[in-house]
Structure 1
Amino acid sequence: MAGNSFTEGSSMRVLISYLPSLAEGKYIPISQQRFAKPRADEESIYPVILASGATQLLNNNFEVKYVDSVMRRHSMQDFLGIIADFKPDLLVFETKTPVVKDNWKAVGLLKEKFPALMTAACGDHVSVLPEETMKNSLVDFVITGGDFDLGMLGIALYLRDRKPLPKGTWFREGAEIKNNGPYELLSDLDSIPMINREIIPWHEYHEAWRLYPRFMYVMTGRGCPYRCTFCSWPQMLYGGKLRLRSVPNVIAELEELIKKYDVQEIFIDTDTFTRPRVWVKDFCNEIIKRGIKLVWSCNGHVADVDEEMLTLMKQAGCRMIKFGVESSSQKTLDIIRKGYTLEQVREAFRLCRKVGIHTHATIMIGFFWETKADMQATIDFARSLDPYEVQFSVPIVYPGTALYKEAREKGWLRFNDGEWEKWDMCSPSMKNCEMSEEEIEKLYLEAWKGTYFSWRFILGRLTALRSLRDISLALRGFKTLVKGHILTGK
């Protein structure tokens, strides 16, 4: 197998990174992103799994450094200088479909300059197509599955201490590419140590909609119980399985974050926080019982919530729920297996307004079977829900998802396999039965402008201003809207 020579237990340096873009002026943040696209603003999500991996490496006496070269806008020359200064033995990087080919080239440049450097790739794309990366790049290892925090630790322990490689690892043995079988997911998430928030600086990652400056991300579980055909992580990383931490384990982390960092607000970035309901209720009751003062938001599913649970969530500090609405067409919802009805969507948003929880609606327009009238109806439906925020996107059909398989078989995809740089959400990856991609892109941009620049939305935000904090939030949100969506046209 691939590997450098280390004395067991000796010092070994590991660099964890997002590699710099080789396409000048094009920056695609992929940290903790289910779907990735170019952005011009400074908002990036905290990479929880990488941070967990960094923590475990540090706990096992590895020297660890983290560099987000996407956020830092590093050139390849900058990154080569970082490698030369830190002198890592192992580089672990997360990649994703639209940047994977760029990352292959970057690894080639690194190997030219530092031939002894071991490299390991992780992330959803390489998890479903590991052999592709091994064949098309000089990467030494590919970690498959969503527990790549454990995978990177396992590879480091293999290189340093000759421990067995974790299941689901692809590697080289001479000129041969090999693997040691399918990945195995850890059943007991409580056994993973709490994240050291210093290695990957928590204060550099946040959401534009955050209310407080001391803002952090937490994951209460990994995976999702639902089967949406387009969704990346549940299918590509977690095999359709949901695993949860125990309520006491999560509460202990929240209390630690408050004690150590005086954290004021968190986003629970579990794929679907609102199920199982008994877990959610136990969590909320424990927060109330312990008197934990913390504002939090989460991802939710409209079929999970009722007035009783939403009221309890509000009492426990819930500020906003992100709901994947996607479409106003029941036909579309059924095809992509969302698992709810339009009436459940309306009811969930109505109940959230009633109890005082903000809503964030995610919307997709441009599926193959949709007409222009369908798409416009979806845009109008999203506005009628009166969400606090709405996010429009075009469907991006990643390899490894059920929708990708169906689209490839039926000839719905615009791009060929291997043209992964085009899967960047700048243009629809699906053909449409009625409209051209240019027409869909125009409608998409009009959806953003027509929603956020409408008098209804503007007056609603103005009447909600209560403090300087609210004004700061509104200005930051406007900046993100313009730089992240309007100016980029995406």
Structure 2
Amino acid sequence: MDVLILHPSTFRKSYGEYAEAGGRMPPLGICFIAAVLEKNGIDVGILDADILDLTFEQTIKEIEKKNPKILMISILTATYDAVVELSNALKKRNPNLKIIVGGPHLATDSESTMNNKCFYVGVLGEAEYTTLELVQHVLKSKDIHNIKGILYMTKEGLIKNPPRELIQNLDELPMPAYHLLPSMDLYHPQIHTYRHKPVVPMVTSRGCPYRCIFCDQGIFGKRFRYTAGKKIVDQIEELQKRHGIREIAFQDDLFTLNKKRVYEMCDEIEKRKLKIAWSCISRADCLDRDLLKRMKKAGCWMIALGIESGNQEILDFIKKDMKLERIREVTDWAYEEGIKVRGFFQIGHPKETEQTIEETLNFAKSLKIYTAEFTISTPFKGTELYEIAKDYGTFDTSDKSYFSKMFPVFTPKGLTQEFLLKKQKELHRRYYLRPKKILEFALLIRGFGDIKRYWAGAKILLK
């Protein structure tokens, strides 16, 4: 095998007691890279050690069995320590193995990452075409040092080549290589975020023009680029034929930013008479009532909105550029059109207090939304929040595996880590363990599978 792309197994460590209720979805980023390599004649495979629940030793054994010339790993901050440990072990056993790394953590912490001698080269930015050129050069033993978008260590220090231009036309990318993954039946979103299995995620746009202080735009940039509506539906049809897919979870950060292409996609779904359920992620100011009506007709059953806080001053401070009144208006529209809303909230923002956290819970309970998820504000390197965190509280970066939005690595002044962890659990209990919400979920049960997944969530609430 020329190239093996690894999705490391660190899920349970990163998400702790919430792991059982969490989603485990196909790793789309590496599927895009694999598809581009495969299209260009490179023998490539994917090892999803996470979904296969492989131990450290089993992962090494599987990699050695496949015996790739190149191993590629995408690093998140939460997976950094595990990836370094694994890579050192692999290099010790096979010094000739070339390990190429990429991902969000590398983009924001390049030098300390590449100081690890186990890593051969790093890939920055959008990885598809940089990886293709790099792999082609390595396999042919050609000089790599002028390839755009890579970085590497020399005796003189870190060398960072000029960046590669962003992909302007996403329509030119092939469909992600889902076929290189284990069975689609193994994957599932979070317990309450799907209706039908198998479910497949799709990402059909890149870039975000907004300025939230907790988001990193280091890989995809601010310019919004997208796949055309017709091509999206072409891929949905192919997924139905190949994998029997019954539902799509669009994971774009701003699926409805370009409304024209959403209308185009909805028209194509109806024109081809496709039976497909789907959900997406967006912002309240990127939706209107007419669009919601059209999306519902074309199979959309749920929209996730980043609400973040129920306190307007907090929203303004984190530069969400959103009014609470707009959120309420849009969630009311969605409810009236029959689309469920999944609300994303964070606690532990700078300037957060016990009172503002209470306001967030009360706001969530007052909205006509389906679910509320309360994560903990996490200052990732490369974000404005990372730069200002120490001015507004304590910031512990000693254990990178805690950078998962489930643990308080940042604690605002006046609060404690213990308080935030306790409050996170309390908010979930107080939101879900209400007669109205329990009845709502009970009425959604259609079979044993529904009972099983909702019970998994209930067990966590009751711990």
Q: What residue number does 2:28 align with?
A: 48
Q: What residue number does 1:177 align with?
A: 158
Note closer, same or farther for the CA distance 1:158–1:37 as it changes in structure 2 (3 Å cut): farther
Structure 2 residue 136 is the aligned partner of structure 1 residue 157: yes
| In structure 2, C-alpha distance between the alignment counterparts of 1:15 and 1:461, rounded to whole Å | 42
Structure 2 counterpart of 1:476, which letter? Answer: R
> Which range moved further: 194-203 or 172-181?
172-181
Structure 2 residue 364 is the aligned partner of structure 1 residue 382: yes
Cα displacement (A) at 1:115? 0.3
Which runs of structure 2 are paired with 1:43-442 in the superposition (5 Å)? 43-145=23-125, 147-161=126-140, 162=142, 166-173=147-154, 176-201=157-182, 202-207=184-189, 208=191, 209-232=193-216, 235-408=217-390, 410=391, 412-416=393-397, 419-442=399-422
Structure 2 residue 27 is the aligned partner of structure 1 residue 27: no
CA contact (8 A) 2:280 2:303 kept: yes
- Per-residue CA distance 1:112-150 (angstroms, 9 max, x = gap): 1110000011111111222221113421111111x2233
| In structure 1, C-alpha distance between the alignment counterparts of 2:17 and 2:87, rounded to whole Å | 21
State the SS of the aligned residue for 1:241.
coil
| In structure 2, C-alpha distance between the alignment counterparts of 1:292 and 1:166, rounded to whole Å | 43
| In structure 1, C-alpha distance between the alignment counterparts of 2:428 and 2:153, rounded to whole Å | 47
Structure 2 counterpart of 1:16, which letter? Answer: I
| In structure 2, C-alpha distance between the alignment counterparts of 1:151 and 1:204, rounded to whole Å | 31
| In structure 1, C-alpha distance between the alignment counterparts of 2:322 and 2:257, rounded to whole Å | 14
CA contact (8 A) 1:379 1:447 kept: yes
CA contact (8 A) 1:104 1:136 kept: yes
Structure 2 residue 23 is the aligned partner of structure 1 residue 39: no
Structure 1 counterpart of 2:160, which letter? Answer: N
Note closer, same or farther for the CA distance 1:87–1:214 as it changes in structure 2 (3 Å cut): same
CA contact (8 A) 2:246 2:277 kept: yes
| In structure 2, C-alpha distance between the alignment counterparts of 1:459 and 1:132, rounded to whole Å | 51
| In structure 1, C-alpha distance between the alignment counterparts of 2:266 and 2:231, rounded to whole Å | 14
Cα displacement (A) at 1:107? 1.1
Structure 1 counterpart of 2:8, which letter? Answer: L
Q: What residue number does 1:5 align with?
A: none
- The normalised TM-score by structure 2 is 0.92
> Which range moved further: 199-208 or 270-279?
199-208
Cα displacement (A) at 1:239? 2.1
Cα displacement (A) at 1:385? 0.8
> Which range moved further: 385-394 or 354-363?
385-394
Cα displacement (A) at 1:190? 1.0
**Residue in structure 1 matching 2:3, options 8, 11, 14:** 14
State the SS of the aligned residue for 1:280.
helix
The Cα RMSD (Å) is: 2.3
- The normalised TM-score by structure 1 is 0.87
Note closer, same or farther for the CA distance 1:280–1:438 as it changes in structure 2 (3 Å cut): same
| In structure 1, C-alpha distance between the alignment counterparts of 2:76 and 2:177, rounded to whole Å | 25
State the SS of the aligned residue for 2:37.
helix
Structure 2 counterpart of 1:433, which letter? Answer: K
| In structure 2, C-alpha distance between the alignment counterparts of 1:443 and 1:199, rounded to whole Å | 41
Cα displacement (A) at 1:26? 4.9
Structure 2 counterpart of 1:168, which letter? Answer: G
| In structure 2, C-alpha distance between the alignment counterparts of 1:424 and 1:215, rounded to whole Å | 23
CA contact (8 A) 1:210 1:473 kept: no
Cα displacement (A) at 1:189? 0.9
Note closer, same or farther for the CA distance 1:474–1:333 as it changes in structure 2 (3 Å cut): farther
Q: What residue number does 1:8 align with?
A: none
| In structure 1, C-alpha distance between the alignment counterparts of 2:185 and 2:129, rounded to whole Å | 24
